[in-house]
Chain A
Amino acid sequence: MDYRKLFDCSIPGESVSAWRAEGKKALGVVCCHVPHEILHAANILPVRLRATGCEDYAEGEVWMSSFSCSFAKSILQFFIEGRYDLDGLICSDGCMQAARIYDNWKWISEKPEAKKQFNYEIGVPRKSSPTTKEFYKEELFDLISEMEKQSGEKVTDEKLIESIELYNESRRLVKKVLELQKEKHPVLTGTEALSLMISSTNMPVEEYIELLRAFLADVTNRKPITDYRARLMLIGSAMDDPNWVKVIEAKGGLFVADTLCHGTMYFGNEMEYDKSDIIGSIADYYLNRLVCPRMIDNRDALHEYILNTAKEYQVDGLVYQKMQNCECWGGENVFLEGELKEVGIPLLNLDREQKMANVGQLEVRAEAFVEMIEKEG
């Protein structure tokens, strides 16, 4: 089976268009806290939104100002341009910029001259406790009702379990792929690994699973990478552009691990579920899954995860990229910098925008960092 589609990050993906051509609905999802399993159980395709390759978000900026995160502005830009092939939008208040994508698109798409589409927002608590879980469950029950209305299909526990099992399978397979990065000579560049994870947003989970299986079956035929100078790990803001990673890898770095919300963290661990409380299980999973510092009570766990992963994947240095105006990822260095120093892992801090600006500057800094951390022999 040809698995090259795993490395295709174009928007919209052909599978999304094909899905809609069958008369089924595809909804754009902003951020990581709208459970895909629920949409899937309603026979709706969840399309995690990104704006890969957006080089001009002028119109998005008109709506969201220059003081907003350019990832959010770029998604709005793509909506305005009609770039996504979707039936609507579901947003969570992942961060406040994400929530404003919803507000602005709702306002624009509800203008009399606009084509009507479905817009919906769910609230996701920013801490995990029995009280917050109950609130989130109520939000999820509402979401189920809305999805049933959208698709005309009943979401049953059986269907939810089936969806959870499928998504768990994709999580298991991605984990297997990521395990390969632990090798001294991995068979995937960081650019390819990120593309492989991002491409999941382009297709139904069933297709993704098949492609992952085909890829894993072919792994032994791939050529190990031996010419890198330093093993790197990538953390920080929403990163949906493998080309940015490629710039650093072109200077001799090799990304072997990440904590990106479009990467490893998006998949996370498998979801455990209690058959007597499926929605409670989904709520537990999404409230406790480590994704980003939007939650107020996950900071220590997130840092521990970063440190453990860095050790496990034997990284020589960590690249912490922060999107301008992304506050969620803006404050980790208060403690993380010291924690990394303690275990002897060098850190490179980089600010960036969604568009590929300052590539020359990025190259210079990447080269200097790689040179600083590369080990002889």
Chain B
Amino acid sequence: MAYIDHSPKVLSGEMSTMDFICTTIESKLDYALEKNPDTRWIYDLQVATWCSIRDAKKNGKKVIAFGGPVPVDLIYAFGCQPYYLDQLPLSLAPTTAVASKYIDLCERYTNQSMCALDKIELGVLLADEYGITPDAFVYSTVPCDSSRIAYPNMQKIWNVPTFTIDTPFRRDERGLRYLAKQTLEFIEFMEELTGTKLDWDKFKETMEVANKTNELLVKCADLRKHTPCPLPGTLCISNACMSGQAADPAMVDFLEKQLETGQMIIDMGLAACPNGEKYRMMFHQNMLWTDPKTYGYLEREYGAVCIMDALGHFWGNYYENMDDKDDCVRILAKKMMDFPMIHGAAGPVDYYRDRIKYLMDNFNINVSVFFGHIGCKHTWASTKILSEYIFENWGIPTLNLDVDCIDGRYKGPDEIRKSIGEYLENVVRL
């Protein structure tokens, strides 16, 4: 079955973004099944995630839209369907015309400098083209200033029950207690919304799934420490979003398959770079959703693989005492602190540096690239600290490269590939 491009229908307003994304990925899955069935695991997760949001109400589930770090595991435990809003711009980004439609609409009201993820999330709502209205909205005061502007506007437009969480700048015991307290308040909110008390046995099931996916995410990351790296850079960007849905059972299959594939590649003596690995790149940011093919290009043409990125890298947080409510709530709070984009970028730069230190010390990195999304201004405002830190401690210079990870009009793939390629060939000394 041929892949069908539905973007004209979205551009004309005939099709909602939800239907567009679902039809597109279903079509990609069909195509993969016909041409390369071994890759179906990559599409299975996307189909499962998106279609479960689309069909949630039909299946008697409430849809909870969320942005930033929130206790997502609880949403699953209440039998509701989370809708991680960042998935929307990430899924639209490769189709520049569609992404542009919503970005341009949003810019009629907001700064051009606002993060394009938020521009799309707000823009789609301004166009009334989500294709689904959530039953509730939960958001946090970070990851950034852009989201903190977009979400209250969205709250007002959606006008559905909303819960907000204030994420502290500190990642210590006080910050943890603060988030734990708000988590308890969130449980009350969900109980009122759903009309049911939190079923601890059901939460335990959710915790088991979350523990499993956490373990798998960590193992997949650890696999990348291997030289040569067995897994391609594109999987870093897909894994980066997953901690937000870590209690989704569909993730277990995906991550198990990823781990199995990676291990198989190692066992076979192969690697992500088909012609030999030369450059092991750490990206401080890593979000080229407009053109994931760039990763394959760099691996193929330069033997350069993105080993890990400092924003998407993930520490596993595990529920250990599942009968101890206080302990579980603390883990939920810890997970919010360790959410990608939060752990490194949203507080004092010291946390970002700590993450980079871990990656530099453990992943055998020889190239440092700040592959920075222009909308992420607070991470850009830390670039010199980070590049000095890396140079002082590991003697490696850093390439600062600006991209718009969502709006492909900012910089095309050829320019990006050339910038990195020239840097590798002319500056990097191994």
Contact = CB atoms under 8 A, between A and B. Distances in A.
Interface of A: 62-65, 67-69, 72, 93, 95-97, 99-100, 102-104, 107, 121, 123, 125-127, 131-132, 135, 138, 293-294, 296-297, 299-300, 322, 324-328, 330-331, 333-335, 337
Contacts of A131: 166, 178, 181-182, 185
B144 A327 contact: yes
A97 B381 contact: yes
B146 interface: yes
Contacts of A96: 142, 144-145, 346, 377-378, 381
Contact of B152 (A68, A97, A296, A327): A296
A336 to B, nearest CB: 9
Interface of B: 109-111, 113-115, 122, 126, 141-142, 144-146, 148-153, 156, 164, 166, 168-170, 174-175, 178, 181-182, 185, 346, 348-349, 372, 374, 377-378, 380-385, 388, 400, 402
A67 B145 CA distance: 13
B149 A65 contact: no
B384 A135 contact: no
Nearest to B165: A127
B384 A62 contact: yes
A65 B145 contact: no
Contact of B145 (A125, A322, A328, A337): A328
B385 A331 contact: no
A123 B169 contact: yes
Contacts of B164: 127, 296-297
A72 B109 contact: no
The 6 closest A-B pairs by CB, nearest first: A330-B111, A331-B149, A96-B378, A327-B145, A100-B381, A126-B141
B67 to A, nearest CB: 11
Contacts of A68: 377, 380-381
Nearest to A100: B381
B178 A100 contact: no
Given A67-B380, A135-B178, A324 B113 contact: yes
Contact of A327 (B146, B182, B348): B146
Contacts of A93: 169
A104 B385 contact: yes
B145 A97 contact: yes
A132 B166 contact: yes
Contacts of A335: 153, 156
B111 A123 contact: no
Contacts, number: 142
B346 A138 contact: no
A322 B166 CA distance: 25
B402 A333 contact: no
Contact of B349 (A95, A103, A328, A331): A103
A121 B169 contact: yes
Nearest to A95: B145
B168 A135 contact: yes
A67 B348 contact: no
B382 A331 contact: no
Contacts of A95: 145
A300 B153 CA distance: 10
Contacts of B383: 65
Nearest to A131: B181
A132 B126 CA distance: 31
Contacts of A102: 348
Given A296-B141, A334-B153, 16 more contacts: A65-B377, A65-B380, A65-B381, A96-B381, A99-B378, A123-B170, A126-B141, A126-B166, A127-B141, A135-B168, A296-B148, A324-B111, A327-B377, A333-B109, A335-B153, A337-B109
A93 B145 CA distance: 11
Nearest to B375: A67
Nearest to B182: A131
Contact of A67 (B141, B144, B150, B402): B402
Nearest to B167: A126
Contacts of B400: 65
B139 to A, nearest CB: 8
Contacts of A337: 109
B377 A69 contact: yes
A325 B348 CA distance: 19
A73 B351 CA distance: 22
A131 B175 CA distance: 12
Given A67-B380, A97-B378, A121 B348 contact: yes
Nearest to B146: A327
Nearest to B345: A96
Contacts of A322: 111
A67 B377 contact: yes
Best-buried of A63, A293, A327 by chain B (most CB within 10 Å):
A327
A68 B153 CA distance: 23
16 contacts: A64-B381, A65-B384, A96-B346, A103-B348, A103-B385, A104-B385, A138-B174, A297-B152, A299-B156, A327-B115, A327-B146, A327-B148, A328-B148, A330-B111, A330-B149, A333-B109
Of B144, B169, B175, B388, most buried by chain A (CB within 10 Å of CB) is B169
Contacts of B141: 125-127, 296
Nearest to A73: B381
Given A296-B152, A334-B109, A63 B169 contact: no
Given A96-B346, A296-B152, A330 B114 contact: yes
Contacts of A296: 141, 148, 151-152, 164
Given A64-B381, A100-B349, A100-B381, A330 B178 contact: no
A334 B155 CA distance: 12
A99 B156 contact: no
Contacts of A330: 110-111, 113-114, 146, 149
A326 B111 contact: yes
Q: Which of A99, A296, A326: most chain B Cβ within 10 A?
A: A296
B141 to A, nearest CB: 4
Contacts of A100: 349, 378, 381-382
